[in-house]
Structures are given as structure tokens and as C-alpha cells.
Amino acid sequence: MHTWNETAPIYRQLADRLTGQLLAGDPPEGEAMPSVRVLASQYLINPLTVGRALQVLVDDGLVESRRGVGMYVQSGARKRLRRSERERFLTQEWPLLLARLRQLGIEAGELNWDL
Amino acid sequence: MTTTNLIEARDLSVRYGKKTAVNGIGFSVAKGRVVGLLGHNGAGKTSLMKALVGLLPSTGELRVLGLDPHRQRVELLESLCYIPDVAILPRWARVDQLITIMSGLQPRFSAERARTLLKRTSVGPRDKVKTLSKGMVVQLHLALIAAVDAKLMILDEPTLGLDILSRKSFYEMLIDEWCDGERSVLISTHQVEEIQPLLSDVMMLNEGRLVLSTSLVDLDQRFVGLSHDAAAADQIAAAHPLLRYRQQGQAAALFDGAPPAHVEALGQRFQPSLVDLFVALTRAPEMNRTVG
């Protein structure tokens, strides 16, 4: 079974997981998202909770709901997502990483960029 | 009372002689919900479920599928699905014989649907019940019950004694084959942690009283967990949390509603799990005894 942690409500964690997949191009732009039923079955989550997670993606402008046919990945979603994720990395993750590098006395030249 | 809810209970009590098993509780279950009924052994879960299906007398107002469970029990039992905690299937019977029996007993039963549901499992039509593992028997039971065309299913500890793989198969069948946005299920369990993702609502019973009855949406917003350093313990305690405990080695406190900003600033906010809430809101019977 999938494990969920206590950092956030389950719907939020599922939304983050689906967002991560969209960033990797799954599913591609213009394609249909898996249905609520499919996601509920796959993750063993209540369908209403899946609906809440998909609504987060709608609110973030990543997918759109087409009445009667389901959810589709918006065109440009990946680009926008990449932009916002870059922004988040630079403002939130990088300062923490930099502090850690300074703590350990690691210089830029010591880092292996070819991994 | 409105008739849109599948269950409506107000001031509902169940008594055995002098003992009160369910003590004046009120709740409703709408369509399309998965409601977890949690509580320690002896908290009143089984008594409540029996009252809901008319197998125990109760006082107060109670409507299940718009019917009075006591006076209209036969009609009610035909229109809902119920697996009691002591459910057994005849050991001598073959699966296809059980399907034939069910077809004769239950007017809303679909043999076709039962066969379809059983295809999901490793249970074959010619298998005898006595040759099946405990997990397979529960799967078979669920398939037989879920093949009844009903709006409400009541399951009393269906996963008791099953290993993790059997429980997973059970949850899969429940989500895939029962939850269609119209039908609801009330399920009692001790597997609080693994049932949580499946639920839309939760009810917690403690000594016959309903100590929590809420949707998971409201639950997410209502309760706040705060992990903190030992140094902040006194200030946290002064803010009267529901529960103080340790979580992964870290001191933590659980609040009903957001704590004041100066208290929240003392720690790191987290999403309390249903298990944390269960511990905070219910007490094991042996603990109650020492409290008196």
C-alpha cells in the first residue's frame, strides 16, 4: 500500500505526487488525466479525496475539467510548472542547501557537476 | 427528518438490561460516503450496527434508508448489505451453491454480478468454503454481499484477522466495486491507520458516546498537530492541548482548532493522523477503570 506521511492532508500529498508526474511529462499536455476511479483504485484512496487532489491541479492551472469527459492536462502546464518549481527551488530550497554547503565548507569547485 | 440521508439517528441509545451500550448519539450518513466507525472493544460499535439493521432494539429516532429498523426490519434487511462481526459461511457449501442460495433468499441479489466480482479474486465457482483461506472467505463474503443492489453496506470489522495482502484486496474491491458516488458504506475497524485514506467521514465511539463525527475535509482543517522542543513543553501544556505525546522521538501536542499564534510559534505544525486523534479522544476501558 502507498504510504502517506503526516506533513500534509492526504489530498495534498496526492496533488503533489500528481504534480511531480506532470513535471516529468506524465501524462503529456493535451492528454487526459487518469479518471477519479482509476486514481482511487491505484492509490486506494476515497474518490472524494482524489477529487480534492485533482481540484488542486485545476486551481493551479495545470489541468482543466471538460464537462462530461474528464480532466485534461493544460497546454503549457509543464512550462509553467517548471517555472514555478524553479522559483520555489531558488527561493526556498537553495538558501537551505547553501547554508548546509557553508556549514560543511564545501566550495563550488568541489562539487561534481557530471553526476 | 430529511429523507435524502441514508442513515438519520437522533438521541439514539441501545441498552442491554442496565448496561448502556450506545448512549444518546446523533449522526447522519449521506449518499456516496465511506464512513469509518472507530472505537475500542466494548465502545458500542457492534451494538450500534445491530441497532441500525434492526437486530437490537433502540430508543430515540432512527431511520435507515427511510425505514424504521425495528418495525420494518424485513424490508430493511432486503434493501441493505450487512456483514456482522461473527459472519460465517457454511463450510460444506460450494461457491456456486452459495450463489444459488443467495439468489433464492435475496430479491436484489445478482448472480451475474457476484460471478463478475469473484473473477477479481482467486476464488473459483467450484471451490468449497472449507478449502478457502480466511482471506478468501472474506473476499467471497464481500463479493456475495456487494452483488446485492443496495445503497448502503454495513460491515462490522470485515478485515479482522486478515493478513496485509488480504486486507489490501478487500480495500481494492471496496473502492473499485462499491464506491460509485451513490452508495455508502459504514465500516468498523481497528486498522485505523490503513483505513484512513479510504474514508470520507469518521465516527469515533468511546463508552457508547460519539466523541467525534466529522468529514475528513473538516478534520483536516479542525485539528492541528505541533511538534516542539522539550524546552517549550510547559508553555505548550499551558495552552491546553487535547493530547501531549511523542512522535518519532519528538515531543508533540494535538490541538482542537488552531492554537494561539504565540503557541504555534513554539513548534512545527503537522497534520495529525487519525491514530493520533483516536488516542486523544478515546481511552481504553482499562484506563477508564483506573480513572474511576
Query: Average of pLDDT values for B3-27?
Result: 93
Distance between terminal CA atoms of chain B?
A: 38
The yes or no reply on domain B7-207 and CATH 3.40.50.300 is: yes
Take residue A66 and report the three cell numbers written for it: 471538460
d(C-alpha B138, C-alpha A59), whole Å = 41
Q: B22, B62, B16, B58: which is closest to B203 by C-alpha?
A: B22
Contact between B168 and A40 using a beta-carbon 8 Å cutoff: no
Residue A23 touches chain B, beta carbons under 8 Å: no
Whether B39 contacts B207, CB under 8 Å: no
Angle, CA of A94, A84 and A107, to the nearest 5°: 20
Q: What is the pLDDT of residues B234-257, one digit of tens each?
A: 999 999 999 888 887 889 999 999
Across-strand partners of B28?
B8
CA distances in angstroms from B40 to A72, B141, B243, B264, listed in the order given: 44, 25, 18, 31
Which SS3 state, helix, strand or coil, does residue B8 take? strand
Across-strand partners of B227?
B252, B268
Q: A22, A66, A42, A4: which is closest to B270 by C-alpha?
A: A4
Whether B90 contacts B144, CB under 8 Å: no
Q: Which of residues 46-105 of A touch B (CB under 8 A)?
A: 46-49, 52
Whether B189 contacts B197, CB under 8 Å: no
Whether B280 contacts B194, CB under 8 Å: no
> A54 lies in a domain?
yes
Collect all residues of chain B within an 8 Å Cβ-Cβ radius of residue A39.
none
Q: What is the pLDDT of residues B111-163, one digit of tens each?
A: 999 999 999 899 999 999 999 998 899 889 999 999 999 999 999 999 988 88
Domain boundaries, given as residue ranges, for chain B = 7-207, 219-291
Work out the pLDDT band at A25, boundaries 50, 70, 90.
very high
Among all residues of chain B, which has the CA nearest to that of A6?
A: B271
Take residue B55 and report the three cell numbers written for it: 437486530
User: What range does the domain containing A68 cover?
Assistant: 1-106
Collect all residues of chain B within an 8 Å Cβ-Cβ radius of residue A48.
32, 200
Q: Which pLDDT score, from 0 to 100, does residue A5 have?
A: 79
Q: Which of A45, A48, A50, A56 to mutate to test the interface with B (most CBs of B within 10 A)?
A: A48
Residues from B in contact with A at Cβ < 8 Å: 32, 34, 164, 168, 171-172, 175-176, 179, 181, 194, 196-200, 216-217, 220, 225, 247, 270-273
Which SS3 state, helix, strand or coil, does residue B65 take? coil
* Chain A closest-CA separation from residue B226 CA (Å): 11
Collect all residues of chain A within an 8 Å Cβ-Cβ radius of residue B198.
44-46
Q: A44, A40, A67: which is closest to A52 by C-alpha?
A: A40
Strands (E), chain B: 7-16, 19-29, 34-38, 59-64, 81-83, 152-156, 184-188, 201-206, 209-215, 223-228, 243-247, 250-256, 267-270
CB neighbour list of residue A23: distance below 8 Å, 6 or more residues apart? A78, A81, A82, A85
Residue A21 touches chain B, beta carbons under 8 Å: no
The DSSP symbol for A91 reads I
> A72 lies in a domain?
yes
Of A6, A44, A46, the CB nearest to B172: A44
Collect all residues of chain B within an 8 Å Cβ-Cβ radius of residue A51.
none
Q: Which pLDDT score, from 0 to 100, does residue B249 have?
A: 82
Contact between B199 and A6 using a beta-carbon 8 Å cutoff: no
Q: Which pLDDT score, from 0 to 100, does residue B220 have?
A: 86
d(C-alpha B48, C-alpha B285), whole Å = 18
Q: What is the pLDDT of residues B34-63, one digit of tens each?
A: 999 999 999 999 999 999 999 999 999 999
Residue A3 touches chain B, beta carbons under 8 Å: no
Among all residues of chain A, which has the CA nearest to that of B225?
A: A6
Contact between B179 and A9 using a beta-carbon 8 Å cutoff: no
Work out the pLDDT band at A64, boundaries 50, 70, 90.
very high
d(C-alpha B158, C-alpha B21), whole Å = 21
Among all residues of chain B, which has the CA nearest to that of A43?
A: B197
Query: Average of pLDDT values for A68-82?
Result: 92
- Tally of structural domains, chain A: 1
Assign residue A77 the CATH number of its domain: 1.10.10.10
Q: Which pLDDT score, from 0 to 100, does residue B288 have?
A: 44
Collect all residues of chain A within an 8 Å Cβ-Cβ radius of residue B270.
6-7
